[in-house]
Amino acid sequence: MDINILINVVVGLLAIFVPVIFSMMMRMFARNDGLVAEIVEDQKEITKSMSNCQSSMPREYVLKADYKSDMVEVKNMLSEIYTILRERK
């Protein structure tokens, strides 16, 4: 038997049996108290939660790079204030 024929037979059998096995598994999970429906609903909730986090993160949190640049500005302003106060004495 030629190797190409063997490969074609194996791929053909997989093409037939994989969808059948997958549909059997889906039916088995569906019978199990709607497990698939629960998983789908949980996935939707997680997606919604992630979407909410992505929209609220920029408003509620500061990037590390922004924080560092702001702190440099604050330190420079404080340095200038201390210099002015020292000169007044």
| Identity of the amino acid at 2 | D
The torsion region of residue 62 among left (phi > 0), alpha (psi -120 to 50) and beta comes to beta
Cα gap 69→57, rounded to integer Å: 19
Query: How many residues are recorded in the chain?
Result: 89
What pLDDT is recorded for position 33?
64
Q: Where are the domains of the chain?
A: 1-32
Specify the pTM. 0.36
pLDDT digit string (tens) for the chain, length 89 residues: 678 777 878 777 777 777 877 887 777 766 666 676 777 788 889 888 888 877 777 777 777 788 888 899 999 999 999 999 998 87
